[in-house]
Chain A
Amino acid sequence: MVPESNETGKGLAEQLPPLTRHEAAVEADRCLFCYDAPCTHACPTHIDIPGFIKKIATRNLKGSAATIFASNLLGATCARVCPVQELCEGACVLGSEHKPISIGRLQRFAMDFARQTGNYPVVKAAPTGKRFAVVGAGPAGLSCAGELAKLGHAVTIFEKRDLPGGLSTYGIIALREPVDVALDEARMIEGMGVEIKTGIDFGTDVTLEDLQQEFNSVVLSVGLGRTPSLGIDGEEVIVDGLEFIEASKAGEDTLSVGRNVIVIGAGNTAVDCATIAVRLGAERVTMVYRRTDREMTCYEHEYDFARREGIEFRFLSQPSRVLLENRQPVGLECLRVELGSLDASGRPAPVPVQGSAFVLEADQIVKAVGQNKPALAKLLGLATQKGFIAVDENFQTSTSGVFAIGDCIRSRGAASTVMAVQDGKLAAAAIDRQFAQQTELVVSSTEVK
């Protein structure tokens, strides 16, 4: 389903090839095996990185995979989508003078081995008789479900979409993570005894009350909403960024890419959208952002990547109107922006300059300006914090026995897959403590078969 190539031959096939055995061995041997390593601290799931790398060096790949799974059940996804420059690799002690260890790619090497050989975690714990419901089969939900299953609990995940995996399946461009990797990861969690029910819309097909009655606790990992409205004329022809990515991954022939594409926004999703456009044949791709490169939320390595892809940037430009001909976009009118004093996000507020309107030509406009806060919180009567579901240190919401994890609670810091995985792990431990009162906060040993 994934478009493999376009006329430039680049396509959306996974960008980095897997390391060969030799490459992995050379890289693993380069690791100093730091004690109490900074890479492990920087990893939100605190994978024993020197430990799994040492095991690659000694060719104990089964053990290497088990070391990763012990801290992070979604190691295969994280190996591909983590902003490693900001996390483990960014903290590598070899970074200052030499090249940091390619931790992400080594993790992928071990995870690919596990996937190819079926060396997945097996549940050793005796059944506890406790039953938990998880709403949403994204990274947070899968992680939480898997960790609960590891402890012997029975877990059912209710997923709205047809496929599990959440953003890993639908929202990460195939260039970074092929769909199969995300789906195999969900299958791995199923293999641990977790039941995943897809196509179940929470709120209509099943309600919170239903779940509260049937299960000991409910975990919400519902993610965020759709892309917010820009409130400009002609917005109805603007393509939603997440839908654009989704179509590129699983939409078969549903994705049509324009010749002259504008992407509104400068975050991770915006870069992904622009990348898709340029890779699938757009002649010109421009990212339009109302602030400057200093304030944009995509990572520096993504910015570098985008520029290498030939993507252009128009900063200090605020879209004001879509120009239409025959109900098709022909251009985006923008106002020039000056930066004012700091706003609520801690960044300089963009102030449009009156009378500065200018037009950028475009036959396709995509918006990727973040996601709406989870609407569910209000519907369920849960307390919120800055619009996100509010939770205590045990990930419990204002309703006892209802927990929430992942992007839907991310009122502080950047939403990311690996943070969601860690939420799932910590919440599972907290939930287990409530019922068993014997689990360590960090689950340290994972056996694989």
Chain B
Amino acid sequence: MADLRINFVGIKSPNPFWLASAPPTNSGAQIHRAFEAGWGGAVWKTIGAPVLNVSNRYGAWHFGRQRMLAINNVELISDRPIETNLREIAEVKRAWPDRAVIVSAMVESKPDAWRDIVRKIEDTGADGIELNYGCPHGMSERGMGSAIGQVPEYCEQITRWVMEAASIPVIMKLTPNITDIALPARAGVAAGANALSLINTINSIVGVDLDTLELTPSIAGKGGHGGYAGPAVKPIALNMLAALGTDEVVASSGLPISGMGGIATWQDAAHFLLLGASSLQVCTAVMHYGYRIIEDLCDGLSNWMDEKGFATIKEVCGQSLHCVSEFKGLDLSYRSVARIDTDKCIQCNLCYVACNDTAHQCIDLVSPQGELVAPGAYDIRSNGKHEAVDTRPQPVVREEDCVGCRLCYNVCPVDDCIAMTELPSGREAVTWSELSHQKTEITEDWEAMEKYREQVGIHIH
């Protein structure tokens, strides 16, 4: 049994899964239930300035039968009185000493306001503070949330104020609504934050009602950008996590990162750990299915760790970071081609149309007699399941023309039917970085490039 316990800058929890600061952590009663279900920790829904909320505050992105691939919200920080929150935080921490209780905070950009909230949070006995620099709607219009997170200098200034006042660990939470995620992270490092967390929600509009022509959701006829979260944002979050893990300043600071953004399964969790997160936060999946999902999150992660021989979460952290590379560091000589397993292929021919219309035209349709055929080549009077099935052409990859783009692999609906198979290219491994250094001319002159290709045997069909 893998040891799922973590110690995140002194904040201990029995597993790496914390509820993110959001509606699931709105009250003490909820967090009691979440801890009963097995959650390792909770980041209390942001407390701070007084607010008023609106109805129809959650939108969602559905695709096909899958509901809520992402949620979008214009909910503000906690709309419960701050004293109520502080009292419940203290009660929860007293009742659950082994769980991580972190409090998210957001107040006006004044040193006194931050010092005051830090003191109040510390008085509850909470384990840590998360600085909400990410809320992209409402609060940002009041100069808080992402209005801070988008300006590294502000992040640094406010974090300095907090660090001067705080005696418990402080986690600075980053907004993804920024061009280069490393810049605010470096500001956190400079200000002496104990840890970072990411990502907060992404600016988004989910759609328009095609009857009323109002935005979805409509708040008395109006709507606007809200924070986007859930499974659909995970790749964006992973990229930002990896960007911090490979940023010299951030990586060398050793600041641990609490990762979030679309974690719904233990596999998602493992992805975040492997790319450098050492605690994990979850929101949308819980809003979709309830606290009970913690059981498989822990169980699945533990089983996978056992299978891979990882004894602790620490051993998993960052294991895949060394694979992260810029394009210029990729091996240009690596060659793979698509191979279709004809035993598994159900001849939906989605690979054929994808390749033929939008990729590199290297999949042929081959009749059962082995002849190349065009799609729809049957006689108009041919019909019935036997004729249709018995004459159905099989997609076949012309390997010599396949560039290994992997589109067919991605569209194939059958598990393990198309494999990307490595073939020797006959060329020495070389990266763009190396090659452009050795042969500057090929970066500027197509003729030189053609000559180089000829020389090493690269044929673009």
B423 CB–A CB distance under 8 Å: no
Contact sample, A vs B, 18 pairs, CB 8 Å cutoff: A29-B64, A35-B348, A35-B350, A36-B349, A36-B375, A38-B392, A42-B385, A43-B383, A57-B64, A87-B385, A90-B384, A90-B389, A91-B385, A91-B392, A93-B346, A93-B347, A94-B346, A442-B380
Q: How far is the CA of A343 from the CA of B60 in the complex (A)?
A: 66
In A38-68, which residues have CB < 8 Å from any B CB? 38-39, 41-44, 46, 57
Q: Are B353 and A86 in contact (CB under 8 A)?
A: no
B81 CB–A CB distance under 8 Å: no
* Least CB distance, A234 to chain B, in whole angstroms: 40
Q: Are B65 and A90 in contact (CB under 8 A)?
A: no
Q: Are A35 and B385 in contact (CB under 8 A)?
A: no
B413 CB–A CB distance under 8 Å: yes
9 new A-B contacts, CB < 8 A, other than A35-B352, A43-B383, are A26-B65, A34-B347, A34-B350, A36-B352, A42-B387, A87-B383, A88-B385, A93-B347, A422-B383
* Least CB distance, B75 to chain A, in whole angstroms: 29
* Least CB distance, A50 to chain B, in whole angstroms: 10
Q: How far is the CA of A96 from the CA of B388 in the complex (A)?
A: 14
Closest 6 CB pairs of A and B: A90-B385, A42-B388, A36-B375, A35-B353, A41-B388, A44-B383
Interface string of A87-116 (1 = CB under 8 A from B): 110110110110000000000000000000
Q: How far is the CA of A402 from the CA of B39 in the complex (A)?
A: 80
Chain B residues within CB distance 8 Å of chain A: 64-65, 346-350, 352-353, 365, 375-376, 378, 380-385, 387-389, 391-392, 413
Report if A36-B384 is in contact (Cβ < 8 Å); known contacts: A93-B347, A93-B348, A96-B346.
no
* Least CB distance, A131 to chain B, in whole angstroms: 27
Q: Which residue of B lies closest to A22 (CB)?
A: B65
Q: Are B388 and A38 in contact (CB under 8 A)?
A: yes
Q: Are A36 and B376 in contact (CB under 8 A)?
A: yes
Q: How far is the CA of A25 from the CA of B378 in the complex (A)?
A: 31
Q: How far is the CA of A39 from the CA of B384 in the complex (A)?
A: 9
Residues of A contacting B413 in the complex (Cβ-Cβ under 8 angstroms): 32
Q: Are B388 and A91 in contact (CB under 8 A)?
A: yes
Q: Which residue of A lies closest to B351 (CB)?
A: A35
Q: How far is the CA of A91 from the CA of B389 in the complex (A)?
A: 6
Chain A residues within CB distance 8 Å of chain B: 25-26, 29, 32-39, 41-44, 46, 57, 85-88, 90-91, 93-94, 96-97, 419, 422, 426, 441-442
Residues of A contacting B388 in the complex (Cβ-Cβ under 8 angstroms): 38-39, 41-42, 91
Q: Are B380 and A426 in contact (CB under 8 A)?
A: yes
Main secondary structure of the interface of B (DSSP, over half): loop
* Least CB distance, A413 to chain B, in whole angstroms: 9
Q: Are B347 and A41 in contact (CB under 8 A)?
A: no
Residues of A contacting B384 in the complex (Cβ-Cβ under 8 angstroms): 42, 44, 86-87, 90
Q: How far is the CA of A88 from the CA of B389 in the complex (A)?
A: 10
Residues of B contacting A85 in the complex (Cβ-Cβ under 8 angstroms): 385
Q: How far is the CA of A97 from the CA of B413 in the complex (A)?
A: 12
Interface-central residue, B64, B349, B385, B392, by most chain A CB under 10 Å: B385
Residues of B contacting A32 in the complex (Cβ-Cβ under 8 angstroms): 348, 350, 413
Residues of B contacting A426 in the complex (Cβ-Cβ under 8 angstroms): 380-381
Q: How far is the CA of A442 from the CA of B348 in the complex (A)?
A: 24
Interface-central residue, A34, A86, A97, by most chain B CB under 10 Å: A34
* Least CB distance, A430 to chain B, in whole angstroms: 12
Report if A34-B380 is in contact (Cβ < 8 Å); known contacts: A42-B388, A87-B385.
no
Q: Are B349 and A34 in contact (CB under 8 A)?
A: yes
Residues of B contacting A96 in the complex (Cβ-Cβ under 8 angstroms): 346
Q: How far is the CA of A119 from the CA of B366 in the complex (A)?
A: 40
* Least CB distance, B406 to chain A, in whole angstroms: 18
Residues of B contacting A88 in the complex (Cβ-Cβ under 8 angstroms): 385
Q: Are A33 and B64 in contact (CB under 8 A)?
A: no
Q: How far is the CA of A101 from the CA of B348 in the complex (A)?
A: 13
Residues of A contacting B65 in the complex (Cβ-Cβ under 8 angstroms): 25-26, 29
Q: How far is the CA of A35 from the CA of B350 in the complex (A)?
A: 6
Q: Which residue of B lies closest to A46 (CB)?
A: B380
* Least CB distance, A48 to chain B, in whole angstroms: 11
Q: How far is the CA of A441 from the CA of B381 in the complex (A)?
A: 11
Q: How far is the CA of A41 from the CA of B379 in the complex (A)?
A: 9
Question: Could you say which of B348, B352, B378 contacts A41, with CB atoms under 8 Å apart?
Answer: B378
Residues of A contacting B349 in the complex (Cβ-Cβ under 8 angstroms): 34-36
Q: Which residue of A lies closest to B383 (CB)?
A: A44
Q: How far is the CA of A34 from the CA of B389 in the complex (A)?
A: 13
Residues of B contacting A91 in the complex (Cβ-Cβ under 8 angstroms): 385, 388-389, 392
Q: Are B346 and A41 in contact (CB under 8 A)?
A: no
Residues of B contacting A29 in the complex (Cβ-Cβ under 8 angstroms): 64-65
Residues of A contacting B348 in the complex (Cβ-Cβ under 8 angstroms): 32, 34-35, 37, 93
Interface-central residue, B350, B382, B388, by most chain A CB under 10 Å: B388
